[in-house]
Amino acid sequence: MSAIISKTETEEKIISYNPATGEKIGAVAQTSAAQVVNAVENSQRAFKSWRETSFKERAKFVLKAREAILNEMDEIARLISDESGKPVTEAFSAEIAPVLDLMRYFARKTPAILKPEKINIGQLGLLGRSSKIIYQPLGAVGIISPWNFPFSIPLGEVVMALMAGNTVVLKPSELTPLVGVKIGEIFRKVDLPENVLQVITGDGRTGAALVEAGVNKIMFTGSVATGKKIAGNAAKTLTPVVLELGGKDPMIVFADADLEAASSAAIWGAFTNSGQACSSVERLYVEESIAERFTAMIVAKTRKLQQNLGSIETTDVGAMVSENQLKIVEDHVADFKKSGAEILTGGKRNGNFQGTFFEPTVIAGAGNEMRAMREETFGPTLPIATFKTESEAVELANDTDFGLTASIWTKNISRGKRVAEKILAGTVMVNEVLYTHGIGQTPWGGFKQSGYGRTHGKLGLMELVAPQHIHVNRVTVLPNAWWFGYSQNAIDTFRGFARHFSSGSLFQTAKLAPQMLKRIKELRKK
């Protein structure tokens, strides 16, 4: 059963609010450092038996949890929307549907992905030896997750960690703790063995305590600043970390692109989840010859977006998660204005609401020298800049500290692929934008300050296991030529190893046979 710690020694509580209305929707405990240590110890104990379970048994729990989610999908979507401010439609499209697909995929495919692998050691003189890699679970994995996709990010990682044979301690964001608690409840409902998954609520202090509590890996998604702190603290105990940090993702639109599709993609890429996605379009580079027409299409489409409470089905853009987040957007919009860019639509808080709504904002005349084009905004802004040549577009797109995703629009697919390979980002899409986190089969992670390591896909699963090399020698009757009993004869043999054996050629290695025999005889005598 997954334990949800509900009381702290200090009785300190975290209140969860609906950011669209300001209503209080619940309260959870601020888990203390001592409780975190206790949770990790319990996790390590549970690991001893969980690691012995078969893939089939693990999959059974994951698939049952999947059923449980399907059964209460509407309530879960509503909770996600209420706690984060996002439209309930996006709770389905960007969180529930993709994570259910991920659950099915890893429940079925983990055994194949983690199948022991034979290595061809290819050394003719090593006959009788064989090598293989097996994948061992790591132990207790700490997952520290953000508020922007409070269901799909942590749940996807939980499922992958469990399938690989690890136990998990999950610390959801303090802004969306109830969704995190819900994940714990789902697994409790399907009778996951005790302490295999524990959800500990709390703020950054609880997260920091988890990093230092003796977990075997930390999977972190959040800001660059916190990522750096976590990497520093984890280094003290050599705890490995995967860091999925922010982005300042570029979209490049060439003149030959399908402009109808590209303009719809641009506004969705910039404004979905109120722009609070690490792979949001935060910089749009348009080829100069079509810039005016394309910008007009974007402005017209943006003005048609419905901004409203997330609970209303026709809402396109909901509230932002917090006042703090909204203030960053206000600051960046002010920076754009001050730097000479032009606000074409939006640009301010939406005064029709009490909550944290910022109008979808389109900005023309942006340039990479502006601060707001360099720092992550994480809000509903779409700054547009222009370029003249393909190489200029690549240069502008790469002129950033980040490198999570990028998007290229052209009807010329070979050009799209050529440009894609020049962009320094973990994922580059041609004629697509933002969404591949929703394909659990594909790797997710960044270059540069966007972090390191991967979540999702085969590479993500590999982060959750320790590859172990097993080497077997079936022929022990002959001594190894390189063992002690060094002599001139040994040196001659090793010289032969260097000249003939390491060439990989059967013919060359055969030449070494008389010298090898001499050496073996010598060793036998000793």
Buried/exposed code over 62-71 (b: 16+ C-beta within 10 A; e: otherwise):
bebbbebbee
Is residue 361 at the binding interface for ligand TXE, with CB under 6 A as the rule? no
Task: Select 28 or 419, whichever has its Cβ closest to ligand TXE.
Answer: 28
Min CB(212)–ligand TXE separation in Å: 9
Is residue 208 at the binding interface for ligand TXE, with CB under 6 A as the rule? yes
Is residue 376 at the binding interface for ligand TXE, with CB under 6 A as the rule? yes
Min CB(237)–ligand TXE separation in Å: 14
Task: Select 176 or 509, whichever has its Cβ closest to ligand TXE.
Answer: 176
**499 Cβ partners below 8 Å, 6+ apart?**
508
HSE (CB half, 13 Å, CA atoms) of 377? Answer: 32
Mark the segment that binds ligand TXE (CB under 6 A) among 9-17, 243-251, 352-360, 480-488.
Answer: 243-251
H/E segment holding residue 390: helix 390-398
Is residue 244 at the binding interface for ligand TXE, with CB under 6 A as the rule? yes
Task: Select 166 or 221, whichever has its Cβ closest to ligand TXE.
Answer: 221
Among 170, 230, 253, 290, binds ligand TXE (CB under 6 A): 230
Is residue 77 at the binding interface for ligand TXE, with CB under 6 A as the rule? no
Give the catalytic positions in this structure.
244, 278
Closest Cα to residue 103, out of 137, 143, 69, 140? 69
Give the three-state DSSP class for 64. helix
Is residue 211 at the binding interface for ligand TXE, with CB under 6 A as the rule? yes
**203 Cβ partners below 8 Å, 6+ apart?**
14, 30, 174
Over the window 245 to 264, marking each residue x when it contacts ligand TXE by CB under 6 A and - when it does not, the resulting string is: xx------------------
Q: Which tokens is 101 given?
A: 């697909």
Is residue 381 at the binding interface for ligand TXE, with CB under 6 A as the rule? no
Q: How far apart are CA 339 and CA 464, in angstroms?
A: 45
Is residue 335 at the binding interface for ligand TXE, with CB under 6 A as the rule? no
Over the window 266 to 285, marking each residue x when it contacts ligand TXE by CB under 6 A and - when it does not, the resulting string is: ------------x-------
Is residue 33 at the binding interface for ligand TXE, with CB under 6 A as the rule? no
Is residue 374 at the binding interface for ligand TXE, with CB under 6 A as the rule? no
Q: How far apart are CA 310 and CA 108, in angstroms?
A: 34
Is residue 146 at the binding interface for ligand TXE, with CB under 6 A as the rule? yes
Among 148, 273, 361, 493, binds ligand TXE (CB under 6 A): 148
Closest Cα to residue 394, out of 377, 382, 406, 381? 406
Is residue 328 at the binding interface for ligand TXE, with CB under 6 A as the rule? yes
Task: Select 310 or 451, whichever has its Cβ closest to ligand TXE.
Answer: 451
Q: For tokens 């977990």, what's the residue?
A: 215
Is residue 222 at the binding interface for ligand TXE, with CB under 6 A as the rule? yes
Closest Cα to residue 30, out of 176, 184, 197, 203? 203
Over the window 164 to 203, marking each residue x when it contacts ligand TXE by CB under 6 A and - when it does not, the resulting string is: -------x-xx----------------------------x
Q: How far apart are CA 331 and CA 327, in angstroms?
A: 6
Position of minimal CB gap to ligand TXE: 207
Q: Which amino acid is at 405?
A: T
Q: How far apart are CA 426 and CA 403, in angstroms?
A: 6
Task: Select 153 or 253, whichever has its Cβ closest to ligand TXE.
Answer: 153
Task: Select 153 or 481, whichever has its Cβ closest to ligand TXE.
Answer: 153
Min CB(148)–ligand TXE separation in Å: 5
Task: Select 100 or 175, whichever has its Cβ closest to ligand TXE.
Answer: 175
Task: Select 401 or 492, whichever has its Cβ closest to ligand TXE.
Answer: 401
3-state SS track over 297-332: HHHHHHHCCCECCCCCCCCCECCCCCHHHHHHHHHH
Q: How far apart are CA 94 and CA 462, in angstroms?
A: 24
Q: How far apart are CA 62 and CA 457, in angstroms?
A: 17
CB 496 within 8 A of CB 513: no
Q: How far apart are CA 185 and CA 181, in angstroms?
A: 6
Q: Which residues bind ligand TXE (CB under 6 A)?
A: 144-148, 171, 173-174, 203-204, 207-208, 211, 221-223, 226, 229-230, 244-246, 278, 325, 328, 376, 378
